[in-house]
Structure 1
């Protein structure tokens, strides 16, 4: 994805406030052994870009004053109750340096799995993105996960995900192999009560 920005010289609370009033959002670009650069970005373009998953997980092309730089989104500050982006941080990435970033998991073929076809289950994703370590060129937009063999008793974990060549998946937390999805089976039908056998009426004498 590409985002266009311009450099800014003014700084401080007052300057940032005036910048937001004019429809732009202040930001900063840092890293790669270079000095931090203050930038401003059109607020509406940035706000809509932030709604896209790939903007948070992909290597971005940031164009500042006509010069393009590879960056990743590092931090975003939102207004506590208004739909307003207050500040944004980008980190430069070198083409040959591996960087950690978030990549979405895309689940495929769940509708063809035994869990759905044979067991009539409902599949719910539990893990929607993973941290990966890779160079910008090798960082994928998403990683596909095939669920065609999914059953209610065979649930794939994070360690079963096959990352592309040159990409390493990083597991966080104590559980290094969390379940990727959950399968909810339909509730068992309640057995109907057995009707009592009719009693023979006594014959009248």
Structure 2
């Protein structure tokens, strides 16, 4: 788990609709958002856009329990969705999901690949690491939510593929994909042979035939 704490200050919002949201962003530098889930009704709020942008610079913010304070009342949430402007570095809307300590949550967390350059396939075999996943959907209690999950490639050789089932998950954390069966054991990364490079065996065969 990350030791970093995130706190977001918000204000309740009564007006809704695209017109009201545009005025908030353009005239006041505010961002419309919604908090939902749990045993409470969804609540429309506004955030200071520049403050949220600062938080978004931290990778941990996307997979961390956040304290959001609305008009002085604090709640624990996770960031569930962001609507971004297609051409500008602007957030148009944010969704936050309420969490409770005894209820499991589903979160997408980043994968951190370690020992890439020192892996057998790269250092000895001259291969290239090919990432097929950069995030993993997991399920766990809020208190067990990891900031990221490590994928160790140290023993992976050229031609080998690492699947979800090969990842060592933290205690209390499970893969959403694997919960649906072995058919969902998707590839995460592999070490491939660079294009245009032949195997030693192929080279030996060509030499022998010559």
Q: Same fold (TM over 0.5)?
A: yes
Q: Pick the aligned partner of 1:20 from 16, 25, 29.
A: 25
Unaligned runs of 5+ in 2: 1-5
Query: Which is higher, the Rg of structure 1 or of structure 2?
Result: 1
Give yes or no for the alignment of 1:188 onto 2:200.
no
Unaligned runs of 5+ in 1: 195-205
Note the alpha carbon deviations across 1:81-133, whole angstroms, 9 max, x for none.
34332221111011110011111111111222111111111212211111111
Matched position secondary structure for 2:184: coil
Name the residue aligned to 1:74. 80
Name the residue aligned to 1:4. 9
CA shift in 2, pair 1:48/1:124, >3 Å: farther
Q: Pick the aligned partner of 1:163 from 163, 166, 169.
A: 169
TM-score by length of 1: 0.82
Matched position secondary structure for 2:15: coil
Give yes or no for the alignment of 1:117 onto 2:123.
yes
Distance 1:89 1:138 in 2: 22
**After alignment, is 45-54 or 127-136 more displaced?**
45-54
TM-score by length of 2: 0.80
- Where does 1:49-128 land on structure 2 (aligned, <5 Å)? 49-128=55-134
**After alignment, is 112-121 or 78-87 more displaced?**
78-87
Note the alpha carbon deviations across 1:41-68, whole angstroms, 9 max, x for none.
1112223434543333333222223332
Matched position secondary structure for 2:143: coil
- Aligned residues between the structures: 192
Which stretches of structure 1, 4 residues or more, deviate above 4 A after TM superposition? 172-175
Name the residue aligned to 2:148. 142
- Residues 110 and 147 in structure 1, CA contact (< 8 A), matched pair in contact too: yes
CA shift in 2, pair 1:106/1:82, >3 Å: closer
